[in-house]
Structure 1
Amino acid sequence: MEIGVIGAGSWGTTLADLLAKKGFTVTLWAYEKDLVERMGRSRENDLYLPGVALSENLSFTSDLTEAVAFKKVLVLVPPSQLMRQVMSRAVPHIAPDTVLVSASKGIENETLQTMSEVLNDLLAPDLNRRLAFLSGPSFAREVAAGMPTAVVATSGDSEIARKVQEIFSTEVFRVYTNDDVIGVELGGALKNVIALAAGVSDGLGFGYNTRAALITRGLAEMTRIGMAMGANPATFSGLAGMGDLVLTCTGDLSRNRTVGMELGRGRSLEEILAGMNMVAEGVKTTLSTFQLAQKLQIEVPIVEQMYLILYQGKEARQAVTDLMLRELKPEGV
């Protein structure tokens, strides 16, 4: 089976390597021609996944047509805000019997669409039916190191979800199936916003009590949005919801938590992002999520405060104070 992976960030590279080590013939597409050349010479992605030796079954290209044409499976891992741009170029070259697996997590800024909605705009009906999504608690570097990991594959077609499950599963990478596409997608996107808030809390020097409150109440906000969009609330108690949320709010490898910590320490967003070569999806997803919640008329106080910090220049410590001094109420989703 020939597989194309679109996007050579840390997660795209890790998934490409995982599949290549299973014996599949895998082509990894990167936008940066110089990175493609270096990966071909050194068998290493020195920009996004340094120190990891990549499989000999893995080839590299900066030619998008080469990466997608005649492939039985395409794994889509561009930054979520670039999904539409990249896939608009790729779609004319995709075979009609291809299985597409999106592993990008985010909500498009301009349209407030999830990745399934973006791809539905671009794909013919036959390809739409062959579309799946992979999400769950999975730091790329730990997966690349062979640490046991569990994720979720979801699709509108249960046979496609099971096929993706079989393709990706290994002795250390366990894939469950789930039929709630919108819930799995929203879990993967919204947890990044809450992880920013958890990072802000850590950066301000607050402790485990504060982090636990943010995770729990953040999950409630994620669930409210999900239910308003037709998701199964049980999804947010699983790997794509609580699992991914706990990971990104507590793990030192979380880019979103790291950005939040630096904000809490008083650094500007521009300064923080200038020093990063990888994308912290939560920054742009915060804007989308805040606007989506307004559209749905849903109360999301943590998301709102993160929006005010990132886009209105609010002081992080004042945001925490304002969260704590909100009107008292019963606990509940």
Structure 2
Amino acid sequence: MTKQAIAVLGPGSWGTALAQVLNDNGHDVRIWGNIPQQIDEINQQHTNSHYFKDLVLDENIKAYTDLKQALADVDAVLFVVPTKVTRLVAQQVAQTLDHQVTIMHASKGLEPGTHQRLSSILEEEIPSTLRHEVVVVSGPSHAEETIVRDITLITAASKDLEQAKYAQHLFSNHYFRLYTNTDVIGVETAGALKNIIAVGAGVLQGLGYGDNAKAAIITRGLAEITRLGVKLGADPLTYSGLSGVGDLIVTGTSVHSRNWRAGYALGQGEKLADIEKNMGMVIEGISTTKVAYEIAQELGVYMPITTAIYQVIYENADIRTSILNMMSNEFRSENEWQ
């Protein structure tokens, strides 16, 4: 692929890791953020120490606080900002862009209130005259491992297969590989909803439960993620792939996962407000739990794990009582989808 200019919006851990992947592939990479000290550090020290204390970035990666400069003559824009600000940043991009680009996002969540997926927000806020079909970049990946060039395989999904292939070629190299998919609903819901199950898996570990419980919550969690996704129009096979079971395994079993760590702390008896304060990063699974619970209630989808986590987080339910209630639920068939 010829050299491309890409604006990476969001200098967090994943945005920084993806910027390095793109830079390794010889592209012109600009990181945009709104914290001047962080942007200055990237440009002057070539570090992003809040997320990666001992890692030095390539000096070719440039950072900007000026969105117009970051977007000037780019071929593609990659959103890697928290779900809650995606709409606001998309509006700013729409007001600033002056040419058509490929729009991609690598965030995982559902918008509170509207319940919208992130690609829908981007389609709504950025006119079609300024973009092609949106590409979703999602799958089993920890920034801490990608940044040291550990082997990583994820998915590029778009309603336009050619746009998915564009992202595939843009990112893929000897340690980072993308597979294409056209099931945007499936890939996005898998990426968002697995964070809920990861919180639950962390809770069980924090309470002292073992591998049996871990296997149970991951397996049954995948079942209810699939159940809701299919109701929303997704292909059930997507949940057997990288963005489904793959992402669920990596997020629900690793200390690198902030959602798992948040759940673990809850299981250890810490208060949610303290956990969020100490984490220093957005815990998407917390807000996504509320959105998923509301969608499930609206559509009549059976999601006992999500419901239990919602009750613990938002209704102050006792964790052990919630687990006992789940274990006492009505008997059901393993392959029951309704």
- Class of the TM-score when normalised by the shorter of the 2 chains: over 0.9
Query: Per-residue CA shift, 1:26-77, capped at 9, x if unaligned?
Result: 1101121111111212101011222221112200111122222321011110
TM-score between the two structures when normalised by the length of structure 2:
0.96
The alignment covers a number of residue pairs equal to 333
Pick one of 46, 61, 73 that aligns with 2:49: 46
Displacement of 1:128 in angstroms is 5.2
Residue type of the alignment partner of 1:215: I
Tell me if 1:202 matches 2:205.
yes
Pick one of 4, 9, 34 that aligns with 2:7: 4
Greater mean deviation of Cα atoms: 274-283 or 92-101? 92-101
SS at match of 1:275: helix
Tell me if 1:327 matches 2:330.
yes
SS at match of 2:6: strand
Query: Per-residue CA shift, 1:78-124, capped at 9, x if unaligned?
Result: 00111001111111222432111110110000100000111121021
> Is the contact made by 1:134 and 1:152 (CA closer than 8 Å) also made in structure 2?
yes
Query: Per-residue CA shift, 1:258-285, capped at 9, x if unaligned?
Result: 0000000111100111111111110111
How far apart, CA to CA, are the structure 1 residues paired with 2:283 and 2:206?
Answer: 17
How far apart, CA to CA, are the structure 1 residues paired with 2:215 and 2:112?
Answer: 29
- Runs of 4+ aligned structure 1 residues displaced above 4 Å come to none
How far apart, CA to CA, are the structure 2 residues paired with 1:71 and 1:49?
Answer: 27
Pick one of 140, 144, 147 that aligns with 1:141: 144
The residue number in structure 1 matching 2:295 is 292
Residue type of the alignment partner of 1:259: A
The residue number in structure 1 matching 2:282 is 279
5+ residue gaps, structure 1: none
SS at match of 2:81: coil
The residue number in structure 1 matching 2:59 is 56
Tell me if 1:310 matches 2:313.
yes
SS at match of 2:137: strand
The residue number in structure 1 matching 2:84 is 81
SS at match of 1:3: strand
> Is the contact made by 2:183 and 2:238 (CA closer than 8 Å) also made in structure 1?
yes
How far apart, CA to CA, are the structure 1 residues paired with 2:17 and 2:204?
Answer: 30
The residue number in structure 1 matching 2:177 is 174
The residue number in structure 1 matching 2:99 is 96
> Is the contact made by 2:140 and 2:246 (CA closer than 8 Å) also made in structure 1?
yes
The residue number in structure 2 matching 1:232 is 235
Residue type of the alignment partner of 2:276: L
5+ residue gaps, structure 2: none
The residue number in structure 1 matching 2:116 is 113
TM-score between the two structures when normalised by the length of structure 1:
0.98
> Is the contact made by 2:8 and 2:19 (CA closer than 8 Å) also made in structure 1?
yes
For 1:218-257, what aligned pairs fall within 5 Å after superposition? 218-257=221-260
Residue type of the alignment partner of 2:36: K
How far apart, CA to CA, are the structure 1 residues paired with 2:190 and 2:304?
Answer: 17
How far apart, CA to CA, are the structure 2 residues paired with 1:228 and 1:110?
Answer: 19
SS at match of 2:150: coil
How far apart, CA to CA, are the structure 1 residues paired with 2:130 and 2:64?
Answer: 24
Fraction of identical pairs, as percent: 39
Displacement of 1:297 in angstroms is 1.2
Residue type of the alignment partner of 1:227: V
Pick one of 191, 196, 201 that aligns with 2:194: 191
SS at match of 1:252: coil
The residue number in structure 2 matching 1:32 is 35
Residue type of the alignment partner of 1:15: L
Greater mean deviation of Cα atoms: 273-282 or 240-249? 273-282
How far apart, CA to CA, are the structure 1 residues paired with 2:49 and 2:219?
Answer: 37
Tell me if 1:123 matches 2:126.
yes
Residue type of the alignment partner of 1:20: N
How far apart, CA to CA, are the structure 2 residues paired with 1:128 and 1:30?
Answer: 21
SS at match of 1:53: coil
